[in-house]
Amino acid sequence: MSAVNLSEVAAKAVERGYQLDGVIAELSRLSIEYVPFDADLAYVAASLRLATRHIGLSLGDRACLALGLKTGLPVLTADRAWASVDLGVNVDIIR
């Protein structure tokens, strides 16, 4: 998971009333590798802007997709609009 997406998850939890320390503790129990959002991923995410602007993808969305492109792994989302754009990454809709 991109560090950008980790920030989004933690922010949503805090927004819903959870204490950040508790969020950190719960997330640390999961077997998730957090990948820094470096310059390489930033440029890949930037390259996706024109292809995804019409469906309203955010920087966080594009960070997730960029990591999928870089690693060759599928990405998970609940946003069905992601599947409407062929970006060369396998998008798995989770609900």
Q: Look at residues 58, 60, 59, 48 and name the one whose alpha carbon lies nearest to residue 86.
A: 48
Q: How confident is the model over 17-39, as a mean pLDDT? A: 96
Sorted by where each starts, the structural domains of the chain and their CATH numbers stand as: 3-93 (3.40.50.1010)
Residue-level pLDDT at 28: 95
Q: Has residue 95 got a pLDDT over 90? A: no
Q: Has residue 79 got a pLDDT over 90? A: yes
Q: Which two tokens stand for residue 38?
A: 């470096």
